[in-house]
Amino acid sequence: MSERIGVYPGTFDPVTLGHADIMRRGSKLVDKLVIGVATNPSKNPMFTTQERIEMVLGEVDRLGLSNIEVKSFDALLMHFAESEGASIIIRGLRAVSDFEYEFQMAGMNQQLNADIDLAFLMSDVLLTPIASKLVKEIALYGGNIEKFVSPDVKARVDDRIQQVGRLGTR
């Protein structure tokens, strides 16, 4: 029997507790889960690809997950999934708006490769509002992000904010 490989893609800028929840739950569905850290410069990332990989690796270690690999990719998701030998792509959903976007992407991806399935995992209800974009915005304006990211990620975000400076006033 062949190994069942899944891919969980994202920018992870920064990796949140919501991402960690999907990693933990997604790793139970496959023999090996490849977390694909997308380069996607159009999203104007706060962290470099290498820094995001390091953060994801830190979360994998924190969670004690042994069947996960972390890799960067700069290609169509389906091409990346094919290159990894994946039979499934795992995506997290927080809200209806996520579903609408993911549903459209699923249709396009199915046209590219109908042999790779897609699994949607609903976020834990307590983690639903967490989005990397909002975490960065809260941090940039001096807000506390400790409810949304692990302590290690919070420290990295705080360090980056020290480098780039906060926005607005308190």
Residue 63: closest CA among 21, 93, 34: 21
Question: Catalytic pick from 123, 132, 136, 150?
Answer: 132
Task: Catalytic residue, from 43, 62, 147, 166: name it.
Answer: 43
Q: Which of the following is catalytic: 32, 71, 94, 160?
A: 94
* 121 neighbors 26 (Cβ within 8 angstroms): yes
**Alpha carbons 68 and 6: distance in angstroms, whole number:** 10
Phi first, then psi: give them for residue 148, nearest 5 degrees.
-115, -20
Provide CB contacts within 8 A for 90, sequence distance 6+: 6, 7, 8, 22, 26, 29, 30, 33, 119, 121
Whether 32 sits among the annotated catalytic residues: the reply is no
94 catalytic residue (yes or no): yes
Catalytic annotation, pick one of 19, 52, 136, 154: 19
The catalytic site residues sit at: 19, 43, 94, 132
